[in-house]
Structure 1
Amino acid sequence: MLKTLLVKLLASSFHVTRFFDRIQESIFHQYVLQTLSGPPLMGYAERVGNTNSGRLSFKNPKKDKEGKKEEVNVEKLQKMKQETISAWTMRGLIQVIQGSGLYTISNALEDCVDDEGEQKDKEITNEWEAKAAAYRIFQNVARPGHKYIDEEDLLHFMKKEEVDNVLPLIEGATETGKIKKSSLRNWVVNVYNERKSLAHSLNDTKTAIEELNRILSGIVLLVIIIVWLLLMGFATTQVLVFLSSQLLLVAFMFGNTCKTLFEAIIFVFVMHPFDVGDRCVIDGVQMVVEEMNILTTVFLRYDNEKIFYPNSVLATKPISNFYRSPEMSDAVEFAIDVSTSAQNIVDLKAKIKAYLEGKSQHWRPTHSVQVKDIEDVNKMKMALYVNHTMNFQNFGEKSNRRSELVLELKRIFEELKIKYNLLPQEVHLRYVGSAPPTSTNA
């Protein structure tokens, strides 16, 4: 009983510390998808009087084989804090994620009705279905003929407080107050990928806790046998000497294995530097966490090659985690001719500033253009330091933003006629062909 209680307390504390914020965010995203895919609540009185407002309905086949729906109060969940949530509530939230589909976002994103007049549920099982769901939501929420969703459109489906929480989630919506179709599509795809990673993390954590429980059960069983022998009087001096010798032999044979197991447990449950889906850098190689167990962690390299690392080895290595990093910075280095006028450099800085401020959903306004060095009296090495509005977990998006920035720099160079010219080079020419033929007199 004591062993079971300790394992339950460890699991509850671990889940609250590592996953509460992600579960809270994932359930709210799922509620937004369900609300925007359903029928609108046109009037203010209807929104106020609607008892289902702020509630997420989901099916839990593990608890109800008839497929009846359960509800989660999303408004109450958003007000909960990690420090005050109970173990029972946390267990219920985990069941919402696991029970409504480990790798999918459930609840209808399709306006279809079954024979009994109930709305069917449409699960998203891949990114293509996520993009299709985003298209259907856009058609459901946006006014006919409009190429964006504005705040007024959202108010037909949810309350003002919920709209204020939704707009910052979608790229560019906070600045313009409008949601483009492409931004909505990217957000739905990100929600699906995050939900899938969260489900994988919870599943792997559950497996790791079960493995730990089995290990502790074996240890407890051994202790119970020894105590039982002592209480029953069977443990004579010869028996104790025999058991001690056997334990020494086992310790000699499996001592290193036990040390490795203990280090792995500390790494998984105490250090826990990453979760499934996190993008990490280990030994200079960028990889994504695919699976996490007690003894090993499986990574996917950039070319989708699987790499298995023992957790006891990972515990001794520095690990860079992009997912847990704050907004990250970037740098673009370039060189211009030393003859470039001071006015051109001032204009260059002004145009870079205008571009970054115009792309506020991608870049922070704080940036720096610095002259690093002058080489060979003809080349000024310069660098542009910028801050992204994201970390580099989504490395493809980061690369796209940087590529657009480099192309914009090229356009600015052409507009200001900023060039770089090599110094005059001395060229030596030498004829290396065959010797001309000589004529002979007959």
Structure 2
Amino acid sequence: MKRMISIVRHGSLSTLDEHVLNSDMEDESMMEIRSECQAKEAAKKIFHKVAKPGSQSISLDDLMCFMGKEEAMKTMHLLGASCQNEGIGKSALNSWLVNAFRERRALSLSLNDTKTSVDELHNMLNILVSIIITIVWLVILGIQITHFLVFISSQLLLAVFVFGNTCKTVFEAIIFLFIMHPFDVGDRCEVDGIQLIVEEMNILNTVFLRCTDNQKITYPNSLLSTKPIGNFYRSPDMVETIEFCVHISTPMEKIAAMKERIIGYIESNKDHWHQHPVVVVSDVEDMNKVNMMVCATHRLNFHKCRERFVRRAQLIEEMIKVFKELDLQYRMLPFDVNVRNMPPLVSSNRLPSNWTAGANTETSLS
């Protein structure tokens, strides 16, 4: 176990290049993945070496050149292929390798923080065991320690009175950290309706980064143990819901065509979305507005918030394109305006009386 933890904490991802004969890579450090950029380069290199020249995906036959059929099938399923005929694209391989590196880095950080917490707990237990061993040793030697034990008991009673709440807090924090353990370092969580990323885990507190502005927030573990905590990283693939509305007079043919095109777009992006999305009517309001809803399942959970919003934006852009091409519109309800009285016209610029009389005189003379 110690060797495994040491490898995870201090090691790095490596490719099969180091096992390939006649490899032109002499520097062993160049074959290890230590950053996301190196992970992307490794994915590109693997794709060009495994896929057929000119092909846009890695097929099952390509993998069977390097491994058995059963292992090749497991690899295809691991990389996101749902069937044998479906290939592994460049983007899928790239995303998988980058995610593998991120998970390993998060595991390394989590092990570091857990090791620190375990060391602190170990020191506390060492002090307690030392006291117990000292008392047992004095009893074995036959030394009269009755007065000493009375003194120690009185001091313990005083310590419990003074540090009782602290001991209770430490015990609750230990239970939360090592038994409940609702998150690890790097997980995206939701506490009190706020999305946070776990940055550091200690025995008494946990340090988070708020997703909106990277503000550092520290929560006591005893307080976190009483709160419901959502963990996006440990959640399965999550559902995206997009709501919109159309006018009630929209022909059903247009609505059917709209549903077909939206579903077709989602099912054509197999790397981003699961199959069988749903476009349904959710409600009718004010006898003129039909509320509709698109429900599609991502091929990721909302731990990857940035990729989630990119895919959602692409889907919304495609929906807007479909709306414009099918001339789908929404109109407000008509309403009547009745005018009962017109206010009298009042001029703010009044002419001099003599000028008006002169004008009337000239008019009458002419």
With structure 2 as the length reference, what TM-score do the two structures score?
A: 0.83
Other-structure match for 2:8: 97
Structure 1 vs Structure 2 CA RMSD: 2.9
Structure 2: how far apart are the matches of 1:172 and 1:163?
11
User: Which deviations, in whole Å up to 9, do the C-alpha atoms of 1:107-166 show, x marking residues without a partner?
Assistant: 57695443xxx8665332222222222222233333444443333333333333222122
CA contact (8 A) 1:112 1:119 kept: no
Other-structure match for 2:119: 210
Other-structure match for 1:10: none
Q: Secondary structure at the match of 1:326?
A: coil
Q: Check 1:249–1:363 CA distance in 2 against 1; reply closer, same or farther (3 A cut).
A: same
Deviation at 1:337, TM superposition (A): 0.5
Residue 323, structure 1, aligned to residue 259, structure 2: no
Other-structure match for 2:352: 440
User: Which deviations, in whole Å up to 9, do the C-alpha atoms of 1:191-231 show, x marking residues without a partner?
Assistant: 11111111112222222222221111111111122333334
CA contact (8 A) 1:274 1:321 kept: yes
The answer for unaligned runs of 5 or more in structure 1 is 1-89
- Bigger mean CA offset, 315-324 vs 367-376: 367-376
Larger radius of gyration: 2
The answer for unaligned runs of 5 or more in structure 2 is 355-366
Other-structure match for 1:289: 198
Q: Check 1:131–1:365 CA distance in 2 against 1; reply closer, same or farther (3 A cut).
A: closer
Residue 262, structure 1, aligned to residue 174, structure 2: no
Structure 2: how far apart are the matches of 1:340 and 1:235?
97
Deviation at 1:170, TM superposition (A): 2.7
Other-structure match for 2:308: 398
Structure 2: how far apart are the matches of 1:120 and 1:249?
58
Q: Check 1:427–1:126 CA distance in 2 against 1; reply closer, same or farther (3 A cut).
A: farther
Deviation at 1:428, TM superposition (A): 9.7
Deviation at 1:406, TM superposition (A): 1.7
Taking the TM superposition and a 5 Å limit, the aligned residue runs for 1:266-415 are: 266-302=175-211, 303-415=213-325
CA contact (8 A) 2:263 2:278 kept: no
- Say which of 43, 64, 84 aligns to 1:155: 64
Which amino acid is 1:419 matched to? Answer: Q
Residue 243, structure 1, aligned to residue 243, structure 2: no
Residue 230, structure 1, aligned to residue 139, structure 2: yes
Other-structure match for 2:326: 416
Structure 2: how far apart are the matches of 1:213 and 1:139?
50
User: Which deviations, in whole Å up to 9, do the C-alpha atoms of 1:374-426 show, x marking residues without a partner?
Assistant: 22222122222232233222122222222222222222222332210122356
Q: Check 1:107–1:203 CA distance in 2 against 1; reply closer, same or farther (3 A cut).
A: farther
Q: Secondary structure at the match of 2:33?
A: coil
Other-structure match for 1:127: 36
CA contact (8 A) 2:267 2:274 kept: yes
Deviation at 1:235, TM superposition (A): 4.4
Other-structure match for 1:167: 76
Deviation at 1:311, TM superposition (A): 1.0
Deviation at 1:363, TM superposition (A): 2.8
User: Which deviations, in whole Å up to 9, do the C-alpha atoms of 1:31-80 show, x marking residues without a partner?
Assistant: xxxxxxxxxxxxxxxxxxxxxxxxxxxxxxxxxxxxxxxxxxxxxxxxxx
